[in-house]
Amino acid sequence: MSNATADQLVSKMSQHLESVHPGQDAEFTEACVPGDAIWQGDLCLKIMETVPGGMILLENPSEEDRQLVPEGGEGSRHKLASLEGVELYRPADWPNEESLVGPCFKLSKANTVTHPRHGDVKIPSGFTVGCFYQREFDAEQKRERRARD
Amino acid sequence: MAGPKVAVYSNIGIAGMHELTEEQKELLFAYRDERIPIALNTEETDWEAASKWIDDLYRESGKEHTSKVYARSPVEGVLFANLLRFVFFDEPKGAPTLKVLAEAMREYHKSLPRDIGEGNYPSIEDGEQLSAYKSEHHDSVRKDLIEVLMSTVKRNKKEVRSLAEDYMFSVESQRDSCTDFVHSAFFGQHEWWVPYYLFPEKHLGVKYTEKESRVLAIWDEISRVCGWWVAYDEITILVDRPLHQSLSDDLQGHNESGPAVLYGDGFRFYLLDGMRVDEQIVMRPETQTIEQINGEQNSDLRSIRIERYGWPKYLKDSNARKLDERHNEVENQLEALMESPAGDRRLLVTCPTARIFALGVPSTINTCEEAQRWLAGPAANANVIART
């Protein structure tokens, strides 16, 4: 016996995808305020009041430091387009596979967070932006299992 | 914060407790990285070197050195052990000594290719592990071994052949040989305890007795040149190292596109994130049935099955129940919270990259909005204005 609902749902979603344009960009505007956020895939870019306490300033960030998610294949390639005008901070324990808190950056120049598949996120000058990662239920379950073993 | 403590044991109990310094902790990780390639070595066992070190070990134990037999895999080792047990336990009239038989078996091994070739590997039925009882290749090895035996028999040939055939093809005797083999085996490159005892000696200043140190060094040498091996009084069976081994980034046995461990006769097993799975789950996951998936008792394995099958497909094919549905207009996503027959909850969601994802959420989540807040983690209170 088929479940028309589950079937119909997946079909409806597949149809919806036909209207989606992959790689479409998004942007924060000058009118945005702390608390506003844009998700680029599984990375949340959130406007912050200030750099959170406990973060460490990278004195001389290199090109590799443009990457905002710990290395893990294509899905992790969220990168600042440039380090010009960027004050870059990181949590003391970054990278940490169990932490959902990523770097934070202050912009004195407009910048963009790029990704090979997801659309770019444009950010005007003057904003402080925190990076947060999406929870992964399966990964958390795996860690719990490993801890049990 | 106090560092991990290392308990060092002598053969009479705990010799002392040491807290590692920062430098020693770094050394521990470096030592681990030094040992991993030994465990993952896929070069052919160095038969000569392994034989020499094993002889040294026997000597340290006050025993005479043994005759050696070489096998391409633990499974082949079991078949070889079966033949040897036939001669040793049944003592058929006219059978050779173990030493003569071992020499003939070594000559046989020399004639074999290290790798029988992927096209000749025994097939594995869906949902099963490799069975040497149902393998044409291993049947041909059994027949070959009978001929090897017969080449050494001078009299009573007809009876010896008949008894050997019964023995070599008896499931019961093979099971006994397998049990004995596994219980008697040492693990060569895979011995975890060798580096465990070597590290304190090399880096923590722990002193063993001269003999303990000498014997440990021999075990270390064996681990560098040899796969598994089985020690008997008169015979040692040495097994080749695998042709292939693979680990995940966090050092669990893992391969998503083939066996995690493969030996030259096609004996292989499949692992995902350290969990043993059957070939179908890795190589033909789309052919799993809903009954197989839902019937999986181990919840971790069931998760792996579904992940490989594909969550959206699984939810569709398994009559998953819809709990909630919405059009998230801000992020331009269609979302549906689904519950599988086993009680797993997934948020089905269209992604701006034109894909459908099925994101796991706890079973306490009841709506799409709750699911998105859970998934957002520390950003749950953000005011989302867009998603790319």
| pLDDT tens column, B64-74 | 888 999 999 99
State how far the alpha carbon of B375 is from the alpha carbons of A84, A147, B249, in Å. 32, 22, 24
In 3D, which of B67, B240, B77 has the Cα closest to residue B152?
B67
Token readout for B242 is 């695998």
Query: Are B358 and B312 in contact, with CB atoms under 8 Å apart?
Result: yes
Alpha-carbon span A33 to A71, nearest angstrom: 30
Confidence band (pLDDT; 50, 70, 90) for A141?
confident
Beta-sheet strand order (sheet of A128-133): A55-57, A86-91, A101-107, A128-133, A43-48, A36-40, B383-387
The answer to whether A36 contacts B383, with C-beta atoms less than 8 Å apart, is yes
Cβ-Cβ contacts under 8 Å for B118 (sequence gap 6 or more): none
In 3D, which of A86, A88, A87, A92 has the Cα closest to residue A54?
A92
pLDDT at B10: 45
Beta bridge partners of B238: B70, B229
Average pLDDT value for residue range A103-118: 94
Token readout for B296 is 């999986």
Average pLDDT value for residue range B324-344: 91
Cβ-Cβ contacts under 8 Å for A16 (sequence gap 6 or more): B334, B350
pLDDT exceeds 70 at position B205: yes
The answer to whether A39 contacts B377, with C-beta atoms less than 8 Å apart, is no
Mean pLDDT for chain B overall: 91
Average pLDDT value for residue range B138-164: 96
| A44 contacts on B by Cβ (under 8 Å) | 376, 379, 382
pLDDT exceeds 90 at position B31: yes
DSSP H or E stretch at residue B218: helix B210-225
Average pLDDT value for residue range B42-57: 97
Of A60-64, B43-47, B100-104, minimum mean pLDDT range: A60-64
pLDDT at A44: 97
Question: Is pLDDT larger for residue A97 or for residue B91?
Answer: B91
The answer to whether B382 contacts A22, with C-beta atoms less than 8 Å apart, is no
pLDDT exceeds 50 at position B121: yes
Of A126-140, B110-124, B346-360, B371-385, minimum mean pLDDT range: B346-360
Confidence band (pLDDT; 50, 70, 90) for A149?
low
pLDDT exceeds 90 at position B112: yes
In 3D, which of B299, B336, B339, B292 has the Cα closest to residue B315?
B339
Average pLDDT value for residue range B59-83: 94
Question: Is pLDDT larger for residue B3 or for residue B290?
Answer: B290
pLDDT at B12: 41
pLDDT at B11: 46
pLDDT at A3: 47
| A38 contacts on B by Cβ (under 8 Å) | 384-388
* Interchain CB contact of B363 with A (< 8 Å): no
Percent of chain A predicted with pLDDT > 90: 62
| A146 contacts on B by Cβ (under 8 Å) | 274
Cβ-Cβ contacts under 8 Å for A71 (sequence gap 6 or more): none
Chain A nearest-CA distance from B182, in A, is 23
**How many degrees, rounded to 5, is the angle at CA B224 between CA B221 and CA B229?**
85
Q: What is the ipTM of this complex?
A: 0.92
Alpha-carbon span B124 to B132, nearest angstrom: 10
The answer to whether B385 contacts A142, with C-beta atoms less than 8 Å apart, is no
Query: Are B214 and B221 in contact, with CB atoms under 8 Å apart?
Result: no
| B318 contacts on A by Cβ (under 8 Å) | 6
Query: Mean pLDDT highest for which of A3-12, B124-133, B358-367?
Result: B358-367
Q: Give the CB-side neighbour count of residue B150, counting CA atoms within 13 A.
A: 15
Of A13-22, A30-39, B5-14, B303-312, minimum mean pLDDT range: B5-14
Query: Are B53 and B66 in contact, with CB atoms under 8 Å apart?
Result: no
Average pLDDT value for residue range B338-351: 90
Average pLDDT value for residue range B28-53: 96
pLDDT digits (tens, 9 = 90+) for A23-70: 889 999 999 999 999 999 999 999 999 999 999 999 999 988 999 998
Percent of chain B predicted with pLDDT > 90: 74
What is the residue whose two structure tokens read 């083939």? B258
Residue B206 CB: number of other CB atoms within 10 A? Answer: 18
What residue in B sits closest to A115 (Cα-Cα)?
B388
Confidence band (pLDDT; 50, 70, 90) for B49?
very high
- The one-letter code for the residue type at A110 is A
Query: Are B338 and B348 in contact, with CB atoms under 8 Å apart?
Result: yes
- The one-letter code for the residue type at B235 is I
* The length of chain B, given as a count of residues: 388
pLDDT exceeds 60 at position B6: no
